[in-house]
């Protein structure tokens, strides 16, 4: 029997969280003959795989792919290559699916044959999920949109989350869409490329997913030079989307704004979290090497940023660092004053 859905789960050192994730996959009320679960063990060195040994043995629709530690993006690519389902879902192994959330989404995707079906999610702090009492879903409603409409209406640069979407596998393969190997922040170019190349999409407020926030040691909580390099490569890959021929002026404008927003995020983290001036300069050098003609044209602020980047990049990063430190000190001073006045 052909599979309707492939659930691809990359696993790397998540022994504390992996079991709830897989238990939630099998609380979907789906006949196991219609879906497969592909576990890509990305060279875990802890007890992650041991924690779900019994689950793997109990379900014949689970496939395990073992690889050396090659990154989340490579794990996802290998999972997609092995998938047989008409649609693909890619949850992270430290998050959870909401009980019985997949069936109406999968049914609608199979009925309409859309390229993407984008659902909603809950963000819950680590430590609070255990006391979470569940979800009472509203009636399933949805909007059909083109990929361009989805990009303009719903693309949030800070929420390029891969795990909230059902992807038609043939769409990914036909358009040669994959994750950039070996980098963090691979969701950013991947998600935007999907939106910009999709023809038919569905957006729904139906809750699919629980995103675990504030997890100690999570990739999104740490920033250093190597992470900066990954972010810069993700920015460069996003910028390459500007070469797509069919982009409308509205889409092109928003894409340019997204690129500027990603650039500002890199600069902010560089100045807020990198203490050494030499490392800040190293990051700005990597940025100029990876994207030598990076420029922004929307308004005076962007044009001034472009001028500084092109002519005085190291002065720019140190001035921005000074600005961040002044703002940080002001906020800290106000906080202390407020506490002392209570």
Confidence (pLDDT) at 326: 79
- Residue 267 class from Cβ within 10 Å (0-12 exposed, 13-18 middle, 19+ buried)? buried
Whether residues 111 and 241 share a domain: the answer is no
Q: Are residues 88 and 231 in the same domain?
A: no
Q: Sorting pLDDT into bands at 50, 70 and 90, what band is 341?
A: very low
Taking a C-beta distance cutoff of 8 angstroms, is the pair 168, 109 a contact? yes
| Burial category of 234 from C-beta neighbours within 10 Å (exposed 0-12, middle 13-18, buried 19 and up) | buried
Q: Are residues 190 and 263 in the same domain?
A: no
Q: How confident is the model at residue 217 (pLDDT cuts 50, 70, 90)?
A: low
Pairing of strands 201-213, 35-42: unpaired
Judgement on whether residues 160 and 296 belong to the same structural domain of the protein:
no
Do 167 and 186 lie in one domain? The reply is yes
pLDDT exceeds cutoff 60 at 135 = yes
Q: Rounded to whole angstroms, how far apart are CA atoms 264 and 271?
A: 11
Name residues whose C-beta falls within 8 Å of residue 214's C-beta, 6 or more positions apart in sequence.
125, 126, 127, 221
Same domain, 208 and 226: no
Do 200 and 237 belong to one domain? no
Q: Are 69 and 42 in contact (CB under 8 A)?
A: yes
- What is the C-alpha end-to-end distance of the chain, expressed in Å? 67
Pair 67, 148 in one domain: yes
User: Which of 193, 216, 239 is at the close of a domain?
Assistant: 216
The domain boundary residue, chosen from 177, 199, 216: 216
Say yes or no: 155 and 229 in one domain. no
Per the CB < 8 A criterion, the answer to whether 104 and 206 are in contact is yes
Q: Can you give the residue range of the structural domain that contains 29?
A: 5-216
Confidence of residue 158 (pLDDT cuts 50, 70, 90): confident
> pLDDT-based confidence at 221, cuts 50/70/90?
low
For the chain, list the strands marked E by DSSP. 5-11, 35-42, 62-67, 87-89, 96-97, 116-125, 142-145, 165-168, 201-213
Q: What is the DSSP letter of 13?
A: S
- Residue 143 to residue 136: CA distance in whole angstroms: 21
254 to each of 114, 157, 185, 259, how far by Cα in Å? 23, 10, 19, 9
d(CA 62, CA 42): 16
**Domain ends where: 216, 244, 271?**
216
Q: Is the pLDDT of residue 26 over 80?
A: yes
Q: Name which of 293, 285, 284, 178 is nearest 242 in CA terms.
A: 293
Indicate the pTM of the whole model: 0.91
Region of poorest pLDDT, from 118-132, 150-164, 170-184, 216-230? 216-230
d(Cα 261, Cα 253) in Å, to the nearest integer?
Answer: 12
Lookup: tokens for 48? 């992650």
Q: Is the pLDDT of residue 190 over 90?
A: yes
The verdict on 305 and 165 lying in the same domain is no
User: Of the given ranges (42-51, 108-117, 129-138, 259-268), which has the lowest mean pLDDT?
Assistant: 129-138
Q: Does 235 lie in the same domain as 125?
A: no
Tell me how many domains the chain contains. 2
Residues 223 and 273: beta-carbon distance below 8 Å: yes
Q: What's the CATH number where 205 sits?
A: 3.90.550.10
């Amino acid at each position: 029997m052909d599979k309707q859905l492939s659930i691809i789960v990359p696993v790397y050192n998540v022994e504390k969280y992996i079991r709830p994730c897989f238990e939630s996959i099998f609380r979907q009320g789906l006949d196991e003959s219609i879906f497969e679960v592909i576990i890509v063990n990305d060279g875990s060195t802890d007890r992650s795989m041991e924690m779900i040994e019994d689950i793997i043995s109990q379900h014949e629709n689970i496939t395990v792919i073992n690889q050396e530690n090659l990154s989340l993006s490579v794990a996802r690519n290998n999972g997609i290559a092995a998938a047989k389902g008409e649609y693909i879902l890619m949850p992270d192994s430290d998050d959870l699916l909401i009980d019985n959330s997949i069936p109406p989404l999968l049914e609608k995707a199979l009925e309409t044959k859309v390229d993407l079906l984008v659902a909603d999610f809950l963000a819950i702090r680590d430590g609070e999920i255990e006391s979470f009492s569940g979800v009472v879903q509203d009636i399933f409603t949805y909007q059909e949109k083109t990929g361009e409409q989805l990009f303009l209406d719903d693309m949030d640069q800070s929420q390029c989350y891969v795990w909230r979407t059902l992807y038609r596998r043939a769409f990914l393969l036909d358009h040669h869409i994959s994750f950039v190997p070996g980098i963090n922040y691979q969701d950013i170019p991947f998600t935007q490329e999907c939106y910009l190349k999709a023809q038919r999409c569905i957006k729904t407020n139906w809750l699919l997913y629980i995103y675990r926030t504030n997890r100690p040691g999570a990739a999104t909580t740490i920033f250093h030079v190597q992470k900066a390099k990954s972010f810069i490569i993700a920015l460069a890959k996003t910028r390459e989307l500007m070469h797509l021929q069919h982009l409308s002026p509205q889409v092109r404008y928003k894409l340019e704004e997204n690129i500027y927003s990603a650039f500002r995020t890199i600069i902010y983290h560089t100045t807020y979290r990198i203490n050494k001036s030499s490392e800040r300069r190293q990051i700005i050098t990597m940025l100029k090497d990876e994207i030598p003609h990076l420029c922004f044209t929307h308004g005076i602020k962007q044009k001034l940023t472009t001028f500084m980047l092109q002519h005085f990049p190291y002065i720019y990063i140190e001035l921005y660092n000074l600005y961040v430190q002044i703002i940080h000190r002001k906020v800290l001073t106000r906080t202390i004053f407020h506490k002392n006045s209570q």
